[in-house]
Amino acid sequence: MKFLGGIDSGTPAQRLIFGILGAALVLGVWMLFTTGANPVFPSTIPSPVKVFYAFGDLCRDNELFKNLGFSLGLNLSGYLEAIVFTIPLGFIIGLFKYTRWGFQKQVDAFRYVPLTALTGVFIVLFGIGAPSKIHFLALGILIYLLPVMVQRIDEVSDVYLKTVHTLGATDWQTIRTVYFPSVLSRLSDDIRV
C-alpha cells in the first residue's frame, strides 16, 4: 500500500470493499447525528430511515420522476445554450486580434460577476418560468467556459501552426484543420467540468 508518492490502484475487490465501507461510515455518522435519545440535528436533517420511507410518498404524491425529468431538461437546455453561444464567441474573441483587444478585459472581468446578484435581472427580462432558469444556467456556464475557450486557443501548439503555414494553408484552413480539432477536443473535458 502506498501512502505518499502515489496512489496504489488496488484490485477491483479492494476498491469495492472500501467503497462499501466508506458509504457505511457516512450512513453511520448520519444515523448517529439524527437518531437516538439525543439527536444533534432533530429538526434540520431527517434520519436515513425517514428519507427512505419518504421516497414512496415523493413518487406517489409529488411526481418525483416527472419533476426529475423537468429539472434534467432545464439543466441540459442551459448547457446546450451555453455551448451554442460559447463556441463561436470563443473562437471570434480568441482567434482575431481586434476582437481579442476589444473584449479580452471584459471576458476576464466577467468571471468575477456574482451570479446571484443577476437573479433579479433575469426575472425582469424573462419572468419566473423555465426560460429564466435556462438562461441563468447558461450564463453561469458561459462565464466559466468562455475564458477557458480563449485559453485553449492560446494553448494550440505552435508546431502545428508553423506546419500548416509551411504547407501554404489559408487562414480558414488553419482554423478548420488546426484550431477546431485541437480546441474542441480539449474543450469537451472543460464542458464536463
More reliable by pLDDT, 66 or 42: 66
Question: Is residue 11 very low, low, confident or very high in pLDDT (cuts 50, 70, 90)?
Answer: confident
**Residue 2: per-residue pLDDT:** 53
pLDDT digits (tens, 9 = 90+) for 86-102: 999 999 998 888 988 89
Where does the chain hold its CATH 1.10.3720.10 domain(s)? 69-192
Does residue 6 carry a pLDDT above 70? no
Mean pLDDT score across all residues of the chain? 85
Which triple of cell numbers denotes residue 17?
A: 470493499
In Å, how far are 157, 180, 186 from 191, measured between CA atoms? 21, 15, 9
Q: Which CATH superfamily is domain 69-192 in?
A: MetI-like (1.10.3720.10)
pLDDT of residue 42: 67
| Mean pLDDT for the stretch of residues 41-68 | 82
As to burial, measured by CB atoms within 10 angstroms (0-12 exposed, 13-18 middle, 19+ buried), residue 32 is: exposed
The band of 73, judged by pLDDT with boundaries at 50, 70 and 90, is: very high
